[in-house]
Amino acid sequence: MEYPLAQTGQVPMEADLQENQHWPLSGEPYFDVVLAKSHVKPLYQMGVPAKLHSIIPSLVVPTVLTYWGKNWEMSCNGTQRNHKKFDSGWRAFINDNNLKAGDACVFELIERSSKKLVFRVQILRGDIPPEFQGKSWEFPSATRMLFVHG
């Protein structure tokens, strides 16, 4: 896949891309997650991985998730030493983007202070292409599969 502006060292904005394209990370801190049932309906829980705990303030901080020019406001609760998480605003992000278990998200922390966090999000759909649905596949347990379709 070609990344517009990648050769110039600039990180493209969503306006430079089509919705099914993805962009390279800018070098800012990030985390990625394959959504599990606990992240989506009915629990809607999203924790921030430990690798980012040292840069997330240890208080409740207004947080914005941005995806394709739209923003979702919520808070990131960093008051617990070993557990930092998004509040109930996460539910709107899940529902508005029709996310489900098996989809993946990359959260790039593009702005951070004790007053505000902003994550630019990329979504990778985990849909199994129709030609593979309903088929029985046997793989060794250590094998991970990634279906990519365009």
Please tell me the distance from the alpha carbon of residue 84 to that of residue 81, in angstroms, as a whole number.
Answer: 8
pLDDT number for residue 127: 78
Divide the 150 residues of the chain into consecutive groups of 10 and give the mean pLDDT of each group.
36 50 87 96 95 95 97 96 94 97 96 97 84 57 55
Q: What is the pLDDT of residue 133?
A: 57
Domains of the chain by residue range = 26-127
Q: What is the dihedral of CA 22, 49, 83, 57, to 10 degrees?
A: -70
**What tokens were used for 127?**
């849909």
Is the separation of the CB atoms in 119 and 108 below 8 Å?
Answer: yes
pTM for this entry: 0.73
Q: Where are the beta strands (DSSP E) in the chain?
A: 30-34, 47-48, 60-67, 70-80, 83-86, 104-112, 117-124
| CATH class for the region spanning 26-127 | mainly beta
The structure tokens listed for 37 are 């049932």
- Cβ–Cβ under 8 Å, residues 68 and 123: no
CA distance 112 to 150: 34
pLDDT of residue 96: 98
